[in-house]
Amino acid sequence: MQKNCTFYIVRHGETEWNERKIVQGQSDIPLNEKGVIQSKELGKKLRDINFAAVFSSDLVRAKRTAEIIILEKELAVVTTKALRERLFGRFEGKHIRELKNTLGELMIISKEKQKELSLNDVENDEEIVARLIPFIREVAVAYPGKNILMVTHGGLLRAFLAHLGLKIPQSLGVNPLKNTGYFVLESDGVEFIVKENNLF
95 is catalytic: no
Say if residues 7 and 187 touch (Cβ distance below 8 Å): yes
Per annotation, catalytic residue among 16, 41, 74, 85: 85
Say if residues 200 and 169 touch (Cβ distance below 8 Å): yes
Q: Is 165 left (phi over 0), alpha (psi -120 to 50) or beta?
A: left
Per annotation, catalytic residue among 12, 14, 92, 123: 12
Say if residues 10 and 19 touch (Cβ distance below 8 Å): no
85 is catalytic: yes
Handedness of CA 129, 134, 136, 137 (dihedral sign): positive
Active site residues: 12, 85
